[in-house]
Structure 1
Amino acid sequence: MPDSFIAERLPRALILGSTSRYRRELLSRLQLPFETVSPEVDETPLPGETPYDLSLRLARAKAQAVAKLHPGALVIGSDQVPEIDGQPLSKPGTHERATEQLRLMSGRQMNFHTGVCVACAETGFLQADVVTVQVRLRTLDDAAIERYLRAEQPYDCAGSAKSEGLGIALLDALTSDDPTALVGLPLIRTCQMLRTAGVVLP
């Protein structure tokens, strides 16, 4: 059997183009070996770019940036952009900014757009999509906001809440056909893309 034929049958390396511990934990659920590589991508929104389009563009850019460095690998890129009143919300970084975000979100419905892209430079494979989760927060007074932030300190989370943790207590409802998207990586859509790329999953 030719060596080239054997090489084509061997599974490609899988890379998560992200250093997010949330995405790493989610991808680990698939029980596939993978490594993580930090994508060097400018995340500044373009003039007039919607949060939906921003999440899609950045997911593609991250996957393609890492795929360029590792052309034989299959690379997953992802980016999440929360939206309220048509405007994106960033990671708060501080207690004060998280307080401001939760005050703004209190009692309101908003969208979390999570873009995902799977790319392989060697084969030219590229698929990308956005999964949107609609979230409605219950009405929060300052005391509730303070209790939550002191307990979980979600300052590295866009939207200032961890739905996979205590943050679920802040919600009245969430609607999505791919619920892990809210945590940072839509696993149902990711699995579909990986299967299309030839990855064997259960």
Structure 2
Amino acid sequence: MPLMLASTSRYRRELLERLRVPFHIARPEVDETVLASESVADMATRLARAKAEAIARQHPGTWVIGSDQAAELDGQPLGKPGHREAAIAQLAAMSGRQVRFHTAACLVRDGETLDAQDVTTVRFRSLSAAEIERYVDAEQPFDCAGSFKSEGLGIALFDAIESSDPTALVGLPLIAVSRMLREAGFDLP
């Protein structure tokens, strides 16, 4: 069965490759503006579905995976920082606090939809300005929600990570994606 990943994220591509299911990649063109009074969890689900549906419309008969991740601090979304100063500011705001990461995944084909969401809580250590700057300069996590890479040096920033799926924090909840793919008829171990 044909499968596509509606993302050009190298992190999501690398995660999906772990399942050893052949797939193609497509870039979805989706407006990622936060809607008024929309929760961070709802935003992640809406965007994952919108990405999958955008590509599925272009490829009838193909299963398409969409995913989105949104970080939440005090009920407010934290986006990708984009540059050094924003990454430093995000990490300083999260220092000594808990941040929730909502990672949604959606599998779509011709109007059929399966979706899931994982919530990961990250407890940050109290970080000094020097630690934050050293980390940001070493790993340059400008394309990552929350300004860190848990699969890299970012793991040293935390006291704990609480999740039902360790891959969700990287950007694609593989336990849920595996379940959805099996439901769609893909053969996985």
2:30 matched to 1:72?
A: no
Match of 1:167 in 2: 154
Q: Matched residues in 2 for 1:181 and 1:71: separation?
A: 28
TM-score, structure 1 as length reference: 0.93
TM norm structure 2: 0.99
Distance 2:152 2:40 in 1: 25
Q: Which structure 1 residue ranges, 5 or more long, are not aligned?
A: 1-11
Q: Which runs of 5+ in 2 are unaligned?
A: none
Displacement of 1:54 after TM fit? 0.1
Give the corresponding residue for 2:35.
46
**Number of the residue aligned with 2:163:** 176
Alpha-carbon separation, structure 2, partners of 1:192 and 1:32: 13
**Percent identity between the aligned chains?**
60
Report if the CA contact (8 A) 1:125-1:197 is conserved.
Answer: no
Please say which structure displays the higher CA radius of gyration: 1
| 1:86-165 matches, cutoff 5 A | 86-121=75-110, 124-165=111-152
Structure 2 partner of 1:60: 49
Match of 2:24 in 1: 35
Which aligned runs of 4 or more in structure 1 are off by greater than 2 angstroms?
A: none
Measured on the aligned residues, the alpha-carbon RMSD in Å equals: 0.6
Q: What secondary structure sits across from 1:79 in the alignment? A: strand
After superposition, the C-alpha distances for 1:135-181 in whole angstroms (9 at most, x for unaligned) are 10000000000110111000000100000000000010011111100
- 1:69 partner letter: Q
- Pairwise CA distance, 1:93: 0.5
CA–CA separation in structure 2 for the residues paired with 1:71 and 1:175: 38
Structure 1 residue 194 corresponds to structure 2 residue 168? no
SS of 1:178's partner is coil
Q: CA deviation at 1:125?
A: 2.0
> How many pairs align?
189
In the alignment, residue 135 of structure 1 is paired with which amino acid? V
